[in-house]
Amino acid sequence: MSFRSYVLSLMKDERKGPTALVVKGVLRVLSWFYAAGIRIVDWSYASGMRKTHKMDVPVISVGNITLGGTGKTPMSIYLAEHFLSCARKPAVLTRGYGRDECRMIKDELADVPVIVGQDRVRSARRALREGSDVLILDDGFQHRRVARDVNVLLLDGTSPFGNGCLFPRGILREPVSSVRRADIFVITKADRADEASLAKVRDRLESIAPGRRVILSRHKPTFLTDVTGSAYPVESLKGKKVCLASGIVDPDYFASLVEAAGAAVVLRFDHTDHYAYGQNDINRISAGCAEKDAEMIIVTKKDYVKIKKLDLSGIEDKLFILNVVMDIVSGKEDLVSGLDSVLRG
């Protein structure tokens, strides 16, 4: 296990024992300094020391308060497609830290400008010069220099606030109280949470930020593609022995989607988020799948944009990419009305 994986397991309270207890103590102390930094940032905006920049077009932010895994990229794509259907000209502004996500957005939104840059104000002004009339801030909840008309906050339905601790002791990027800045809550992976758990999340959100819209969503597999780009129905997975390879925050959810389609997962290669694949990884996957007689190797789109530059000749006949979309299962009318209100305004 890598050091990064070990620390992440501590942040999620997945490790016990004396050593883990000591390291958690160190992480908790570090989280106090992190919390102090957040308070300074909050004060600087509240006092006017730092200012926000208002754009001349609607701005919608998509973000979360935990470290990854909530589905920000699929939601940004969903919003861009919605605005395209309204005959608008959206642009997606992203920091570009997760370059695989940037490539995913560009692949999915061929007609939408995707502007990469850490300076969101500069990116926004560039998008305006190029004719965009709606701006979508991908992973924008913590980046407040650009004023937004709608803050869409995503929460993982299976673990909306982690262990309740701030980074690096936990996975919270901000205190839970910061959800007050959100206008719309989208609970993702709602298909993995039971009704009682979802009700608790709703009640907590209502107690902190009353009156906000709460939307339920899931990741819905739509089709498979092979290395040539040919498409196959999800039903192609039924009855197949498959191997999974992923470098994402929640590989268990990925596995559940594949299993729900009727596949038998015989082997998994779970890597850390944003994992940098090398040729040795491909060789290892190939050997493992041969040993398990796997008929298919399933990867996420996020992973394929990284491994496609490697030599896949040993696995290309078995390699398939699972394409998923953000599927709104409850509250779609509330989401649409919240988005369209800024277009009318």
Per-residue confidence in pLDDT tens, the chain, 345 aa: 677 778 788 888 888 899 999 999 999 999 999 999 999 999 999 999 999 999 999 999 999 999 988 999 999 999 999 999 999 999 999 987 656 778 888 888 989 999 999 999 999 999 999 999 999 999 999 999 999 999 999 999 999 999 999 999 999 999 999 999 999 999 999 999 999 999 999 999 999 999 999 999 999 999 999 999 999 999 999 999 999 999 998 999 999 999 999 999 999 999 988 899 999 999 999 999 999 999 999 999 999 999 999 999 999 999 999 999 999 999 999 999 999 988 876
Using alpha carbons only, how large is the chain's radius of gyration in Å?
Answer: 21
**What are the boundaries of each domain within the chain?**
3-46, 59-219+327-344, 220-325
DSSP letter for 146, please. B
Decide if domain 59-219+327-344 falls under CATH 3.40.50.300: yes
CA-CA distance, 128 to 139, in Å (whole number)? 19
- Paired with 223 in beta bridges are 233, 323
> In this structure, which long-range contacts are made by residues 226-232, counting pairs with CB atoms below 8 Å and at least 24 apart in sequence?
226/316, 226/319, 226/320, 226/321, 227/308, 227/312, 227/316, 227/319, 232/320
CA-CA distance, 28 to 37, in Å (whole number)? 14
Same fold, 59-219+327-344 and 220-325: yes
One-letter amino acid identity for 7? Answer: V
CA 60 to chain centre: 16
Fold classification of 220-325 (topology level) = Rossmann fold (3.40.50)
One-letter amino acid identity for 298? Answer: I
Pairing of strands 231-233, 213-225: antiparallel
For the chain, count helices (H), then strands (E).
10, 12
Q: CA neighbours within 13 Å on the CB side: how many for 106?
A: 12
Does residue 224 come out as left (phi exceeding 0), alpha (psi in the -120 to 50 range) or beta? beta
pTM reported for the whole predicted model: 0.94
CA-CA distance, 12 to 243, in Å (whole number)? 26
